Amino acid sequence: MSIVQILPLRPVSRAYSYQVADHQSVVPGQIVRIPFGKNAKLPNEMGIVWAIPEKDETPRDKLKTCYPLDLIPPLSDALRQLIDFTAAYTMGSRGMVAKMSVPLNDIAPPVHKVTLYRLTPLGETIDITPLTAARGKVVTTLRKEKALTLADLTLQAGVSSAVPKGLIAKGLVTTEEISQETATPHIEPQDVHLPTYSAEQQSAADQLRQQVRDKKFKVTLLDGVTGSGKTEVYFAALLEALQMKKQALVLVPEITLTATFLERFEQRFGIKPIIWHSTLTPAQRRRNYQAICRGEAQVVIGARSALFLPYADLGVIVIDEEHDSSYKQEEVLFYNARDLAIKRGHLENLPVVLVSATPSLESYAHAAEGKYQWIKLPHRHAGATLPTIDTIDLRRESLNATQFLSPTLIAAVEKTLARKEQVLLYLNRRGYAPLTLCRTCGHRFECPHCTAWMVQHKNRGQLLCHHCGHVMAAPRICPQCNDEDSLVACGPGVERIYDAVRSQFPEARVVVLSSDTQKSMAGLQETLEKIEHHAVDIIIGTQIIAKGHHFPDLTLVGVVDADLGLAGGDLRASERTYQILHQVAGRAGRAEKPGFVLLQSYLPEHRVMQSLLANDRNAFLGVEAQERKDAGMPPYGRLASLIISSSSESAAQDQAQELARHIPWHDDVQVLGPAPAPLYKLRNKFRLRFLIKATKDFKIQPYITHWLEHTPKTKNARIQIDIDPYGFM
């Protein structure tokens, strides 16, 4: 009987010894069932065989038994090394990291027989007004989607499974069994139609293809202006991987994974790629997971969590919009998918391509130092020119507190509409107004659970906390002084800009694009198509619109508040503001017609605005790099955060004080704090922060481990570690 080390798929970090069930054998990386916990008898948890030691001294009678499963192929050595590395680097639980590779709900084999719910003829025609809201939703969902599994139906209609079942009893809904197509569609490389490249694109594509053929670890920065054809160029790398019968992974920020992108892929490759994304249904996830780990999925496009999946044979990783901060996850597990993708490339010996028009300072510095290959695409495709950017100095425009569009911007919108072209007004703020206050007594509406103002959402008639989701009905009377109609909205959100645009341009066709107005992928797609076909004149949008879209008639971009991202002044505030403004600006004039961008700002002399005007990104990054170097900030120094939180304010304070008393002294480290977090209260938890700043080569993890080991723990307080933090709230 052999003894093996098993890593349980739960919040633990060490592997435990088990004996293998009689007449069974296991290999490293295999999934097993295990009993876990002191008195556990039943093997109702899962684990992974992490190692098979030559000798294990644990007395046999102390050992529990593990039972091998064959649900998925064993995890490769490289993937297990990636899990080990990720857990050690992020100081997260190894079992939880492993769960990203083996998400328990997704590893069951896909079902072959499914039961579909559809409407009966009565259900098709009946008037739904007398039905309950939940039942009405089921009927309308089925009228649209025709047939759905119970899981999909309840998900899409947002009802419990009792509702469709109740409708069966009423004769409105019926079910049928069908056997499901589980085969993964296959791309034939000879059916792939890449475009005819420009000389510049061709050279970039050739270099990427060569790297895939070389099967060696190499990082490339594909650095091209918006509209230069970066996507078309990295498609060539995907094709090369296909031809070599290898898999390709494209990571994209959550928000870019739109139907537009998928259609573009389909146009070139003939079929849709396999996607890995939070909006997949459970059945789709299972199907895609199996296709990925059995090597049937040729190209996978996914959000950051797709990085950890057990690809059968990966040939290349592409990270689109590599600078996007959504690659950093800052909840449960704190990790940066871009950085770990590079690690994975290293462990699996394959090329990694970072793609951006506005590279992160980290990647830019590596490219400039020659650590990454640097491929540049400085021209827009087909001779389209880059937009002309100008600032509007709001200090000179004398706007009152309820005006948000300057006369200069309004005049530019007028001119654009007169030319029958489209306008995008960008403001990255959902809702109507970020703050509501009482004119009489000064009362401000704050979230009862968070240190945050309640955001007014006029369309819903509610105030909403954007941090915890707390809602209250929009009040008419001040709860503090009982004055009536004394409440005023302060500042703009996209809904308020909509009102302003409606009154300025009553004839124009206007649409608001934000995560509030575009709840489903399908709805968003419909709106995007309307914009593309010029059924809309003015688009008002949050960052949902900033990326990836291509609207030929859009020639004016007006940024309502260009200074928005600069407030707060965290490490990357300027960098991020530059990136987002550049990206929004890139929506203008993507076809033959030249584009104009107007940035409304109270700080037009700010380096970010000036660099945008001069279209001199590298100068901007150069100055930014020098400042970070001088300050010893990343990428020239290291940072980590400790976040102490507790539902008891005194427990959080006590724990922070204990930590402060035990800060280990070291020449290369500076510990700042404890300070109340800017979001001092979040979801009823009180939060304090430490910032640990160290020199570039300092090993920050052992330092933190040592610190925590020597600090007494306060009851009910939690300490979270964030290595290389992006958020400082």
Number of H helices, E strands in the chain: 20, 32
Least distance in angstroms from the C-beta of 597 to ligand ADP: 16
Stretch that binds ligand ADP, among 14-22, 45-53, 226-234, 653-661 (CB under 6 A): 226-234
**What part of residues 69-98 is at the interface with ligand ADP (CB under 6 A)?**
none
CB closer to ligand ADP out of 231 and 358: 231
- DSSP states along 138-156: HHHHHHHHS-EEHHHHHHH
**What part of residues 165-184 is at the interface with Zn ion (CB under 5 A)?**
none
CB closer to ligand ADP out of 324 and 563: 324
Question: What is the C-alpha to C-alpha distance for residues 115 and 123, in angstroms, rounded to an integer?
Answer: 18
Least distance in angstroms from the C-beta of 369 to Zn ion: 43
Single-letter residue type at 523:
G
* By the rule CB under 5 A, 677 interacts with Zn ion: no
Question: What is the C-alpha to C-alpha distance for residues 270 and 634, in angstroms, rounded to an integer?
Answer: 42
* By the rule CB under 5 A, 467 interacts with Zn ion: yes
* By the rule CB under 6 A, 256 interacts with ligand ADP: no
Task: Write out the two tokens for 156.
Answer: 């899409």
Task: Write out the two tokens for 104.
Answer: 């328990």
* By the rule CB under 6 A, 258 interacts with ligand ADP: no
Least distance in angstroms from the C-beta of 479 to Zn ion: 17
* By the rule CB under 6 A, 231 interacts with ligand ADP: yes
Which among 448, 237, 510 is positioned nearest to 352, based on CA atoms? 237
* Count of CB atoms situated within 10 Å of the CB of 136: 16
Long-range CB contacts for residues 76-81, cutoff 8 Å, separation at least 24: 76/29, 76/310, 77/28, 77/29, 78/344, 78/347, 78/348, 79/29, 79/308, 79/310, 80/28, 80/29, 80/48, 80/50, 81/347
116 — phi, psi (to 5°)? Answer: -105, 140
- DSSP states along 595-649: -EEEEEES-TTSHHHHHHHHT-HHHHHHHHHHHHHHHT-TTSEEEEEEEEEESSH
Single-letter residue type at 102:
V
User: Which string of x and - marks every residue 578-597 that binds Zn ion (by CB under 5 A)?
Assistant: --------------------
Give the one entry of ligand ADP, Zn ion, none that residue 465 binds, where binding means its C-beta sits below a cut-off of 5 to 8 angstroms depending on kind: Zn ion
Least distance in angstroms from the C-beta of 268 to ligand ADP: 9
338 — phi, psi (to 5°)? Answer: -65, -50
* By the rule CB under 6 A, 201 interacts with ligand ADP: yes
Least distance in angstroms from the C-beta of 232 to ligand ADP: 4
Cβ 609 vs Cβ 659: under 8 Å: no
Give the one entry of ligand ADP, Zn ion, none that residue 346 binds, where binding means its C-beta sits below a cut-off of 5 to 8 angstroms depending on kind: none
CB closer to ligand ADP out of 231 and 543: 231
Question: What is the C-alpha to C-alpha distance for residues 678 and 691, in angstroms, rounded to an integer?
Answer: 13
* By the rule CB under 5 A, 447 interacts with Zn ion: yes
HSE-CB for 218 with a 13 A CA cutoff = 18
CB closer to ligand ADP out of 381 and 496: 381
Q: Is 259 exposed, middle or buried (0-12, 13-18, 19+ CB in 10 A)?
A: middle
718 — phi, psi (to 5°)? Answer: -120, 140
Give the one entry of ligand ADP, Zn ion, none that residue 228 binds, where binding means its C-beta sits below a cut-off of 5 to 8 angstroms depending on kind: ligand ADP
Burial pattern 108-135, b for ≥16 Cβ within 10 A else e, equals eebeeebebbbbeeebeebebeebeebb
Least distance in angstroms from the C-beta of 714 to ligand ADP: 50
Give the one entry of Zn ion, ligand ADP, none that residue 449 binds, where binding means its C-beta sits below a cut-off of 5 to 8 angstroms depending on kind: Zn ion
Question: What is the C-alpha to C-alpha distance for residues 630 and 369, in angstroms, rounded to an integer?
Answer: 18
Cβ 452 vs Cβ 679: under 8 Å: yes
Least distance in angstroms from the C-beta of 464 to Zn ion: 9
* By the rule CB under 6 A, 287 interacts with ligand ADP: no
Give the one entry of ligand ADP, Zn ion, none that residue 217 binds, where binding means its C-beta sits below a cut-off of 5 to 8 angstroms depending on kind: none
* By the rule CB under 6 A, 195 interacts with ligand ADP: yes
Stretch that binds ligand ADP, among 40-48, 223-231, 423-431, 433-441 (CB under 6 A): 223-231
Question: What is the C-alpha to C-alpha distance for residues 206 and 711, in angstroms, rounded to an integer?
Answer: 55
Give the one entry of Zn ion, ligand ADP, none that residue 467 binds, where binding means its C-beta sits below a cut-off of 5 to 8 angstroms depending on kind: Zn ion
Give the one entry of ligand ADP, Zn ion, none that residue 601 binds, where binding means its C-beta sits below a cut-off of 5 to 8 angstroms depending on kind: none
* By the rule CB under 5 A, 494 interacts with Zn ion: no
**What part of residues 380-439 is at the interface with ligand ADP (CB under 6 A)?**
381
Stretch that binds ligand ADP, among 195-203, 367-375, 417-425, 513-521 (CB under 6 A): 195-203
* By the rule CB under 5 A, 450 interacts with Zn ion: yes
* By the rule CB under 6 A, 358 interacts with ligand ADP: no
Task: Write out the two tokens for 138.
Answer: 């089921």
Give the one entry of ligand ADP, Zn ion, none that residue 201 binds, where binding means its C-beta sits below a cut-off of 5 to 8 angstroms depending on kind: ligand ADP
CB closer to Zn ion out of 49 and 447: 447
Cβ 381 vs Cβ 204: under 8 Å: no
* By the rule CB under 5 A, 423 interacts with Zn ion: no
CB closer to ligand ADP out of 6 and 353: 353
Cβ 724 vs Cβ 336: under 8 Å: yes
Q: Which helix (H) or strand (E) holds 66?
A: strand 64-68
CB closer to Zn ion out of 572 and 681: 681
Stretch that binds ligand ADP, among 123-131, 219-227, 659-667, 685-693 (CB under 6 A): 219-227
Q: In this chain, which of 232, 324, 495, 624 binds ligand ADP, going by CB under 6 A? A: 232
CB closer to ligand ADP out of 378 and 442: 378
Least distance in angstroms from the C-beta of 360 to ligand ADP: 17
Q: Which helix (H) or strand (E) holds 367?
A: helix 361-368
Give the one entry of Zn ion, ligand ADP, none that residue 164 binds, where binding means its C-beta sits below a cut-off of 5 to 8 angstroms depending on kind: none
Q: In this chain, which of 135, 230, 430, 457 binds ligand ADP, going by CB under 6 A? A: 230
Q: Which residues contact 326 (CB under 8 A, 6 or more apart)?
A: 253, 254, 255, 303, 304
Q: In this chain, which of 449, 460, 593, 662 binds Zn ion, going by CB under 5 A? A: 449
Q: Which residues bind Zn ion (CB under 5 A)?
A: 447, 449-450, 465, 467-468, 470
Q: Which residues bind ligand ADP (CB under 6 A)?
A: 195-198, 201, 224, 226-232, 381, 550
